[in-house]
Amino acid sequence: MQIPWRNISWVVLVLFAYNCQTCNGQDYGGEEKPAAPPPEQETCDGIFITYNFDGREKIYPLVKNVSAQGWSFKSMLTVLNTGIFELKSWQVFVGFQHKELLVSADGAVAIDGDGFPVRVGKNGTTLAGYPQSDLKTAIDTAGDFTQMSAQINIKGTQFGLKEKTNPMPSTIKLVNEGYKCPAPKRYSTYV
């Protein structure tokens, strides 16, 4: 696993949206790296969360009605502990909003669902790490990103919106008690 953001001294909560045209079909587990986030003054007690929208494709049935058209989508949620305390049982709320169904989320479970697929589109959902639920510190692991971070590959279905849009969640946030996070920032090539 590669986490490109080394030497982060500030922590930020971000939503990334990639240009769909260039990312469709690409494998983000490989060489492709998300851009380094800009330095921020606000902290989330050392926990850094990103949500990358990796693209979507139309699925059957193909219909004329734009808001009834289904799309498969892929995204990646990354939770990284850059702080000084271990994060036990991480839980991240994702504010899904386009009638999404989560079909799989490798490395996490939807805590308010009964297993996949789970409808999350109206109210969003909280994802919890599974089987790896704790994120250790760099100090305790000599900087081992496999123990400090979780990368959750999400696959799902969503509805509506025209081509060339990146349907993002309305928000993401860490819901573990005692952590205070700034509002997420959105980076996007187009909205």
Ligand X SMILES: *[C@@H]1O[C@H](CO)[C@@H](O)[C@H](O)[C@H]1NC(C)=O
The residue ranges that bind ligand X (CB under 6 A) are 65, 67-68, 119, 122-123
Q: 118 vs 135, which CB is nearer to ligand X?
A: 118
Q: 102 vs 148, which CB is nearer to ligand X?
A: 102
Residue 168 Cβ, how far from ligand X at the closest point, in Å?
Answer: 19
Residue 144 Cβ, how far from ligand X at the closest point, in Å?
Answer: 37
Residue 120 Cβ, how far from ligand X at the closest point, in Å?
Answer: 8
Q: 92 vs 118, which CB is nearer to ligand X?
A: 118
Q: Which residues contact 116 (CB under 8 A, 6 or more apart)?
A: 102, 103, 104, 105, 110
Separation between Cα atoms, residue 178 and residue 191, nearest integer Å: 33
Q: 19 vs 165, which CB is nearer to ligand X?
A: 165
Residue 98 Cβ, how far from ligand X at the closest point, in Å?
Answer: 11
Contact predicate 83/46, CB 8 Å: yes
Nearest-CA neighbor of 120 among 87, 66, 77?
A: 77
Nearest-CA neighbor of 176 among 13, 57, 3?
A: 13
Sign of the torsion formed by the C-alpha atoms of 155, 157, 160 and 163: positive
Q: 160 vs 182, which CB is nearer to ligand X?
A: 160
Residue 95 Cβ, how far from ligand X at the closest point, in Å?
Answer: 12
Q: Which residues contact 32 (CB under 8 A, 6 or more apart)?
A: 26
Q: Which two tokens stand for residue 47?
A: 């926990």
Question: What's the distance, Cα to Cα, between the start and end of the chain in Å?
Answer: 29
Q: 68 vs 139, which CB is nearer to ligand X?
A: 68
**DSSP tag of 78:** E
Residue 73 Cβ, how far from ligand X at the closest point, in Å?
Answer: 17
